[in-house]
Structure 1
Amino acid sequence: MVIGAGFSGLAAAAHLARGGARVTVVERHDQPGGRARTWSEAGFHFDMGPSWYWMPDLFERFFRTFGHEVSDLYDLRRLDPSYRVVWPAPGEGSSPRFPPGSGAPPGSDTASGSGRSSGSWDIPAGVPALRELFEAEEPGGGAALDRFLAETGAIYQAANSDYLFRPSLTFREFMDPRLLTEVVRMRMLRSMASYARSFFGSERLARLVEWPVLFLGASARKTPAMYSLMSYADMALGTWYPMGGMHRIIQAMVQVAEDQGVEFRFGSRVERIRVEGGRAVAVEMEGGGGALSADAVLASADYHHVEQTLLEPQHRQYTERYWERRTMSPSSLLYYLGIQGDLGDLPHHTLFFDQDLDAHMDAVYLRPAWPRSPLFYACAPSVTDPSVAPAGASNLFLLVPLAPGLEDSDAARETVFQGVMARLEAHVGLPLRERLVVKRSYAMRDFEADYGAFRGNAYGMANTLRQTGPLKPRLRSSQVRGLYFAGQLTVPGPGMPPSLVSGELAAGVLLRDLGVRPTEASPPGSPRP
């Protein structure tokens, strides 16, 4: 029995079924996807959650396990530019310096004559063009980028060929002389912020290579440099988009799972996990749905919600105090906007780093508060994919990182909305608010209501040094036999590709406990017991 049909739940279900198990997935919503659900209104089709497709090799690995190529299942396009970064105007915020004589980098106002109120870079796809941008910003920057990618590429390959796929049940898994030697040699336990600045003197370049770790739920000052592999994924492997929207990945995963014999029950909310004799034996459904018996239960829903709500107190591994002391990833204020007309020259992805990053991170991590001048992200998928908006209209998604657990009010949401929209309108030179035809906000109270997300977090538990590997909540319950966990609050951590891996790891542990080795998994199409 798998609880939840998000990325980790779907991955776990497919791997369990391939290993010979009879698998049922129960999902509280009327569609699969979890945080990657969709919402449609007035001809606009919105991805409600993930919008960045990175680490394409991990998606390829998953689908090839079941005899598919990604190209068999959805049309994947590489974005160029990968994204745009909008920097502070000179004298505003944490404006980075230009080294003497470096000139203006490609994509800046000075180079392009765009006349925008703050400089912006369009980050090109491919290392050769990136090298030119880095060299233009800082003499020697191209060579520094090569060194950076060589080191981070080695980390990426080591992680994806080995360390990422360790279930982290004990510290012994990482008592590996080879791993320890590399960690010491490259000083991977220092912060990502320090690591980035060991390569680049330009603050803009340092910000550019460190920002991807924000996907892992913590600032670069708190994230260990071992996670620089995210920067390699960004710059060397590229940013992609599946035509039809990110939900196409979910549809493909459901197809794979169903081909393996997985049964789905949507609109089925679990009320309690029944434990008898210290073992999980059934899930009890809300609304008179009865109980579904199980030899084992794998919960991919929010870990805190499962333990604190679905289990009786004596069966919980972690206390409420334990959870309160964890560093959670940020929550988010999201806006789904349908706009009549175009968006000017806005690309698919734009990061507005035009305000003080450190001040915003302080409001998220140190002194939780609604930020006064937040950084934000704009996604315009209709620039790439006209199918997500009616003809002559544009689909726009906005995200503002927020501290988890803030008091969430409509007034606070609207204040932030007006501020970021004013900056976006100034950037594109268009009165977008006058052309709004669809507007929906989504923040902490929605994450709590829809996903049982602890303190309304959006991404799970932050990947700080003290919350890495075996220091995260475990994949296997220590209190209840036959109970397993997957998803963003356990290993390896937040994000779509890590969630795929989490589902595979949890399924592997469960199968081994049942005496089935994952390497002996049944081929697709084999009969199930």
Structure 2
Amino acid sequence: MTKTISIIGSGFSSLAASCYLAQQGNKVIIYEKNPTIGGRARQFKKDGFTFDMGPSWYWMPDVFERFFQDFNKKPSDYYELVKLNPAYRVYFGINDFISIYDNLAAIKNTFEEIEKGSGQKLETFINQAKSNYDIAIKDLVYRPGVSPLELITKETALKLNQFLGNVSADIRKKFKNKKLIQILEFPVLFLGAKPTKTPSFYNFMNYADFGLGTWHPKTGMFDVIRGIEKLALELGVTIKTNSPIEKIIVEGKTATGIVINGEIIKSDIILSGADYQHTETLLEKEHRAYSDNYWESRIFAPSSLLFFIGFNKKIENISHHALFFDTDFDQHAIDIYDKPKWPKEPLFYANFPSKTDLTCAPDGMETGFFLIPLAPGIEDNQSLREEYFEKIITRFEQLTQQEIRNNIIFKESFCKNDFVQDYNAYKGNAYGMANTLLQTAFLRPKLKSKKVRNLYFTGQLTVPGPGVPPALISGKLAAELIQKSLRS
């Protein structure tokens, strides 16, 4: 029997879930508060320049392949991928950078040149990371986080010590060079927590980095959003933008509809891909599963200060992805997680997609995207944004040995206040809830409401966690729970 399913939000998890639910023959309608789809993965265009506003790293291509395979499709049916070489570059000082190339053999050679004996250690480390990847990404993350027993398998039992240790300590036992340590610690930042707080098992992110490589959809990450949107429409999904949800209607502890612009829209099932905490504010207090104290006690992934910049010339001495680790890595982490404040000398990331995609900037020009990770809930105002732009652009010019400040055509910023306004993000977080040991799997907010029947959740604050591949998986998991309830 066909059910009407209303989905709140149009990010990766919502779009993915819509495809699975429509495939089962349901009437699926997505409601997006903003004028365009994509959630945090929206696209921004100005004066001939194109920007991905959120995710810019395409990692774990196998997860995308598995998603499309579920519909007898391939990613190439919807978008084209380019493997980046170098994958990225890490700057430590003037004329002091390390390029990470597109194959493990080349990366081993780079490590060996910097620290004798580290090449073979790296191979051993990545082999272990691959083993963890095969357990985690091919199996564990596709479990719905309903029971702790989901984590107990023959494979995980053999790796118990890796859930008790942490990534940072594990890396430092094997490698001594500070630069190599920081490069190896970097991938777990995608999980939203300090390497010292991330279980050793999560070194599978290093295999995602060095083993599977860094890819780029030909004309940007929004290609993937467009691709999944096209699949959803092919399956019969309806998508409505400019549709902010004002309330979730609950009758007799059962969700029965939503309110948009004063209009009641009846639904058999409601699935929210919006911020979990915000979604619960759409309910009366007695129907909320998690209290204000609960959310306050969680460890959230960082917020970010972003700059979208159009340059009137080509930028030199830079790669598509570039990390600037020329200041104190550990101190910046303290300023995010331990003693939240604006970092005195922040690490930052720069992305120049026009190095790969010539369509995202006018001829002879460059599209630039800069990001500074910040503590969620931090003060945000225009004066601080400008102060920190001056900090990073000065360092960028020094480290890449060129002047670019006078070549800026325009600069748009996006920070904590914008994450709150545009995405209803709790404390303006950019990446959801961190994947620490006590915020993993069944210890995360549930996909299925504990208090309201027919209300479900998906996305980065629930199972399995932050990142684009986990968002696709979260959509699948939520859809499977809904399908199971409809069959029972």
TM bucket by the smaller chain?
over 0.9
Give distance in 1, aligned partners of 2:100 and 2:24: 43
Matched position secondary structure for 1:188: helix
Query: CA offsets, 1:452-507, max 9 Å, x none?
Result: 00000000001111111111100000100000000010111100000000010011
Q: Does 1:55 align with 2:28?
A: no
Native 8 Å contact 1:343 1:428 kept in 2: no
Aligned to 2:19: 14
Aligned to 1:293: 266
> Under a length normalisation based on structure 2, what TM-score does the superposition of the two structures give?
0.97
Give distance in 1, aligned partners of 2:433 and 2:165: 20
Amino acid at match of 1:333: L
> Under a length normalisation based on structure 1, what TM-score does the superposition of the two structures give?
0.90
Aligned to 1:107: none
TM-align CA RMSD: 1.1
Runs of 4+ with deviation above 6 angstroms: none
Matching residue within 374, 380, 391 for 1:419: 391
Aligned to 2:197: 222
Give distance in 2, aligned partners of 1:329 and 1:174: 23
Q: Does 1:436 align with 2:413?
A: no
Aligned to 1:111: none
Give how far 1:203 is off.
2.0
Matching residue within 310, 320, 323 for 2:292: 320
Native 8 Å contact 2:140 2:150 kept in 1: no
Matching residue within 178, 200, 210 for 2:175: 200
Amino acid at match of 1:224: P
Query: CA offsets, 1:259-308, max 9 Å, x none?
Result: 1111111111110010111111101102x3x1211111110000000012
Aligned to 1:140: 117
Amino acid at match of 1:396: G
Amino acid at match of 2:68: F
Aligned to 2:250: 275
Aligned to 1:471: 443
Give distance in 1, aligned partners of 2:278 and 2:448: 16
Aligned to 2:473: 501
Give how far 1:243 is off.
1.1
Native 8 Å contact 1:223 1:464 kept in 2: yes
Q: Where do 1:83-122 residues align within 5 Å?
A: 83-87=88-92, 89=93, 117-122=94-99
Native 8 Å contact 1:339 1:396 kept in 2: yes
Give how far 1:118 is off.
4.9
Give how far 1:178 is off.
3.5
Amino acid at match of 2:384: A
Aligned to 1:106: none
Q: Where do 1:481-520 residues align within 5 Å?
A: 481-515=453-487
Give distance in 1, aligned partners of 2:446 and 2:104: 38
Give how far 1:39 is off.
1.0
Aligned to 1:189: 164
Matching residue within 345, 352, 361 for 2:333: 361
Native 8 Å contact 2:163 2:437 kept in 1: no
Amino acid at match of 1:492: P
Give distance in 2, aligned partners of 1:177 and 1:126: 31
Query: CA offsets, 1:338-369, max 9 Å, x none?
Result: 00001012110000000000111111011111
Query: CA offsets, 1:175-228, max 9 Å, x none?
Result: 3343222223xx332111011112212222221111100011111011111111
Amino acid at match of 1:306: T
Give distance in 1, aligned partners of 2:474 and 2:290: 20
Matched position secondary structure for 2:410: strand
Give how far 1:432 is off.
1.0
Native 8 Å contact 1:31 1:37 kept in 2: yes
Give how far 1:240 is off.
0.5
Matching residue within 220, 244, 256 for 1:245: 220
Give unpaired runs (5+ residues) of structure 2. Answer: 1-5
Matching residue within 300, 316, 323 for 1:351: 323
Native 8 Å contact 2:79 2:218 kept in 1: yes
Give distance in 2, aligned partners of 1:428 and 1:422: 10
Give how far 1:423 is off.
0.8
Query: CA offsets, 1:130-159, max 9 Å, x none?
Result: 111111111211110110011000000111
Matched position secondary structure for 2:159: helix
Q: Does 1:33 align with 2:6?
A: no
Give distance in 2, aligned partners of 1:504 and 1:412: 40
Give distance in 2, aligned partners of 1:483 and 1:412: 40
Aligned to 2:149: 172
Native 8 Å contact 2:135 2:155 kept in 1: no
Give distance in 1, aligned partners of 2:160 and 2:206: 17
Matching residue within 372, 387, 393 for 2:344: 372
- What percent identity do the matched residue pairs reach? 43
Amino acid at match of 2:40: R
Q: Does 1:155 align with 2:127?
A: no
